[in-house]
Amino acid sequence: MNIRTLTFKGGTHPPHSKKATEMHAVERTLEPKLVIIPMQQHIGAPCEPIVKAGDEVKLGQKIGEAKGFVSVPVHSSVSGRVVSVEPRLYTGGTVVTCVVIESDMQNTVHPDIAPKGDIENLTADEIKTIIKDAGIVGMGGAAFPTHVKLAPPPDKKVDTVILNGAECEPYLTADHRLMLESPEDVVDGLKALMKALGVKKGFIGIEVNKPDAIEVIYNAAKGIEGIEVVALKTKYPQGAEKQLIYACTGREVPSGGLPADAGVVVNNVGTAAAVAKAIKTGMPLVERIVTITGAGVKTPKNLMVKIGTSFREVVEQCGGLNGQVGKIVAGGPMMGITQFSLDVPVIKGTSGILILSEQEARLPKPSNCIRCGKCIDVCPINLMPINISANALLDRFEQAEGLHAMDCIECGSCSFVCPAKRPLVDSIRVAKREILARRKKAQSK
């Protein structure tokens, strides 16, 4: 195996904390009795529910219709009866319309669901349609509709697809296990994505702390023309889109631009596997691998979870909560979103459920900035986080914008390293929101 080890400038080294689950093969969760399926699981326009209380639904049946181009349909992950269509709390921290379905435990598959044929025999447009109809979104966490990425503006010349298998978030091992257990799906998914975009070059980037995954994927992709497996240095945020593109191709996505501006489309390995599955089986995206981990859970596991299963049910299948729990995080510790409650459903973008103990979750008390400059050293975008933050905290948003606040990718490296425990990325987020709001206001005038 002769592969290159690549990386980007900056970044930091949080403890991996992956030992608890990286050797645990993916298990299936027990059939949920009730699923809560949000109509908004993706970035973009929410879906319109097309079922109502009392309706019978089958596994894989479409229950939410996409509204607009940047949107994807939502499907039932069980067969059974719709109990209600009502607003419920979801992992985004707000309340959205959800379809609540009681399972009949039969998993009767919807009759329309059938294999779509060989990737070789499908056209690019057919692949795009399958991806859109299967409700596939970015599985790494951001949940951006995949078919939108596959339709770059005509003036952007895309020549490369990169699969993100970096899994640079500490604790999470869902992508790692997926690569070990379903390497063919990952590689076939990449082939389908390359065909849909009409490109000849594909990369699969994996951090070197997963040598087994690199080997398995390397073997699965051996002999396939145009696909290169790339070993990435273990460093956070190696899996950030722009950093990954730089590591694999040496290209910089221009400030404010899209990956397509650098001729690249990036997808998560999980997304690629979902694409392959949708083509091979016809089953839309109704389940995903979730890493349930952290000191606050008794037996950390990787589980195949049906979309809509509540966090509570999933955690119970990992032995339940352990000791005093401080924080529930949907996703990883660097960029995940904290939850008010365990009664939220797993959605398409839920890569992990991280449960931190009360002690780990305690918020550090910020003190004076000592101007050590560590935030500047680690910023993968070469910003000066402390200066943006200092301005943001004084409501000086124009100055924050002048210091390129809008280029911040919110990876959290600055807050992580800060010895004074300053709320750096937090205040930059506030500045970004404020700057966007002002831009909008200026436009509407």
CB of 389 to another protein, least distance (A): 13
Distance between CA atoms of residues 70 and 67, nearest Å: 8
| 262 sits near another protein (criterion: CB under 8 A) | yes
- Tell the smallest beta-carbon distance from residue 272 to another protein (Å): 25
Task: Give the three-state DSSP class for 44.
Answer: coil
Which residues, numbered 188-247, are part of the site for another protein (CB under 8 A)?
Answer: 242, 246
- Please, what is the minimum distance in Å from the beta carbon of residue 367 to another protein? 6
As measured in angstroms, the least distance from the Cβ of 191 to another protein is 26
Tell which one of 335, 346, 353, 400 touches another protein (CB under 8 A).
335
- Provide DSSP, 288-327: EEEEEESTTBSS-EEEEEETT-BHHHHHHTTT-B-SSEEE
**Distance (Å, rounded) from C-alpha 423 to C-alpha 406?**
17
Q: Examine residue 354 and tell whether it contacts another protein (CB under 8 A).
A: yes
Candidates 223-231, 276-284, 367-375, 391-399: pick the segment binding another protein (CB under 8 A).
Answer: 367-375
- 252 contributes a contact to another protein by CB under 8 A: yes
Q: Which is closer to another protein, CB of 67 or CB of 429?
A: 429
Q: Which residue has the tokens 């996505």?
A: 253
Cα–Cα distance, 380 to 204 (Å, whole number): 21
Window contacting another protein (CB under 8 A); options: 18-26, 100-108, 257-265, 280-288: 257-265
Omega within 30 of 0 (cis) for the link into 366: no
Q: Which residue has the tokens 């004084």?
A: 394
Asked if 73 contacts 112 with a C-beta cutoff of 8 angstroms, the reply is no
Adjacent-strand bridge partners of 164: 205, 268
Q: Report, in Å, the least distance between residue 238 CB and another protein.
A: 14
Build a one-symbol-per-residue string for 141-160: x at contacts with another protein by CB under 8 A, - elsewhere. Answer: --------------x-----
* Residues 15-34 within binding reach of another protein (CB under 8 A): 15
Q: Report the site for another protein in 372-431 (rule: CB under 8 A).
A: 372-374, 376-377, 380-384, 386, 403-404, 407, 410, 412, 415-421, 423, 425-426, 429
Contacts of 273 (CB under 8 A, 6+ apart): 178, 182, 185, 186, 189
Cβ 65 to another protein shortest distance, Å: 32
Longest dimension (CA), the chain: 64
Residue 255, judged by CB atoms within 10 A of its CB (0-12, 13-18, 19+), counts as exposed
Residues in contact with another protein, shown as a per-residue x/- string from 267 to 306 under the rule CB under 8 A: ----------------------------------------
CB of 157 to another protein, least distance (A): 8
